């Protein structure tokens, strides 16, 4: 992982900025709006405004990046209950990403009250105040997650925000998501922007139930997952359910949580070639090209 990338702020449609990763060939956020995505794909689907009445809330921010998802979460929680004690663990491989977000003053156009806390987290990787205990674990999330498990940390909300599955398959595998499910409280919610069938199958394989979050800007919905009853989550449409019966639903696998992206992609391709599931192109023709 290179930390010498020259992250230049890119304007998105809601007036907030994001970075573009040369290494992963992708923007860190949707071009429809980086700030909007943090609220609508992460803070809202994990129902933080509703759970903010609790005395303590624990958040696990997987792929902390610029810190937008944590920022949106803190704003949402403290707007409802300023005395809620929040514990945050962020996982991020590249420490210069959150630092560059602060150096470029990217929270200025959020009119954000808690930039000082995020700045301390970016540079010192630790914040302790009367209502926030936050730690940024720097390293491959596949290793850091095991540390989180050992701490017995049980999150009320998990934000799963890696680059897309084809670019960063190692953080969308059945095995990694199993590790995440161990850190999710029985009543907690995991949210991700992805609606990829492979991601949804991995969430199901990890023993979670899934729901669909409304599309925001992008044409596609996101996904919310939990232990327990799927009926408590916004249901998948008939097309989304059928998507899970096609080849696209073969999940990524990484048995030892240590394979390269290339190996993980190849392993899935092999499995897709030999499976008897319907080709996804046929599903697409039925549900998407006809609309």
Ligand X SMILES: C[S@@+](CC[C@H](N)C(=O)[O-])C[C@H]1O[C@@H](n2cnc3c(N)ncnc32)[C@H](O)[C@@H]1O
CB of 223 to ligand X, least distance (A): 15
Q: Helices (DSSP H) in the chain: which residue ranges?
A: 34-37, 48-51, 68-80, 96-103, 115-124, 141-151, 174-182, 197-205, 238-243, 261-274, 280-284
Pairing of β 209-213 and β 222-226: antiparallel
Q: Which residues bind ligand X (CB under 6 A)?
A: 28, 38, 63-69, 91-94, 97, 140-141, 161-163, 168, 170-171
How long is the chain?
Answer: 291
Integer Cα distance of 100 and 61 in angstroms? 18
CB of 116 to ligand X, least distance (A): 18
Q: Tokens 């030999």 appear where? A: 274
Q: Which is nearer to ligand X, 139 or 234 (CB)?
A: 139
Q: Provide the 3-class DSSP secondary structure of residue 49.
A: helix
Integer Cα distance of 290 and 273 in angstroms? 26
Integer Cα distance of 152 and 207 in angstroms? 19
CB of 168 to ligand X, least distance (A): 5
**Rounded to whole angstroms, what are the CA distances from 225 to 32, 80, 209, 222, 283?**
24, 24, 5, 10, 24
Closest residue to ligand X: CB criterion: 65
CB of 226 to ligand X, least distance (A): 20
CB 211 within 8 A of CB 224: yes
CB of 152 to ligand X, least distance (A): 21
Q: Which is nearer to ligand X, 29 or 268 (CB)?
A: 29
CB of 69 to ligand X, least distance (A): 4
Q: Which is nearer to ligand X, 114 or 163 (CB)?
A: 163
Tell me the DSSP string of 98-126. Answer: HHHHHHTTTTGGGT-TTHHHHHHHHHHSE
CB of 68 to ligand X, least distance (A): 3
Q: Which is nearer to ligand X, 96 or 280 (CB)?
A: 96
Q: Which is nearer to ligand X, 66 or 174 (CB)?
A: 66
Integer Cα distance of 291 and 286 in angstroms? 9
């Amino acid at each position: 992982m290179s930390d010498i990338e020259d992250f230049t702020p890119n304007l998105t449609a809601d007036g907030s900025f994001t970075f573009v990763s040369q290494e992963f060939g992708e923007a860190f956020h949707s071009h429809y709006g980086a700030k909007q995505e943090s609220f609508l794909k992460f803070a809202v689907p994990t129902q933080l405004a509703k759970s903010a009445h609790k005395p303590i809330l624990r958040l696990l921010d997987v792929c902390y990046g610029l810190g937008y998802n944590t920022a949106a979460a803190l704003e949402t929680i403290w707007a409802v209950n300023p005395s809620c004690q929040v514990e945050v663990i962020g996982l991020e491989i590249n420490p210069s990403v959150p630092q560059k977000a602060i150096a470029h003053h990217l929270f200025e156009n959020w009119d954000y009250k808690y930039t000082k806390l995020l700045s301390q987290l970016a540079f010192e990787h630790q914040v302790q105040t009367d209502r926030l205990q936050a730690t940024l674990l720097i390293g491959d999330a596949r290793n850091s997650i095991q540390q989180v498990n050992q701490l017995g940390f049980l999150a009320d909300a998990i934000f799963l925000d890696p680059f897309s599955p084809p670019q960063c398959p190692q953080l969308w595998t059945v095995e990694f998501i199993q590790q995440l499910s161990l850190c999710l409280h029985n009543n907690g919610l995991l949210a991700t922007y992805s609606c990829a069938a492979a991601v949804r199958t991995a969430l199901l394989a990890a023993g979670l139930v899934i729901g669909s979050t409304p599309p925001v800007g992008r044409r596609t919905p996101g996904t919310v997952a939990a232990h327990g009853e799927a009926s408590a989550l916004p249901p998948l449409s008939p097309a989304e359910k059928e998507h899970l019966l096609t080849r696209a639903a073969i999940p990524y696998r990484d048995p030892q949580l240590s394979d390269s992206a290339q190996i993980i992609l190849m392993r899935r391709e092999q499995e897709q070639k030999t499976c008897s599931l319907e080709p996804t192109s046929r599903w697409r023709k039925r549900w998407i090209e006809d609309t």
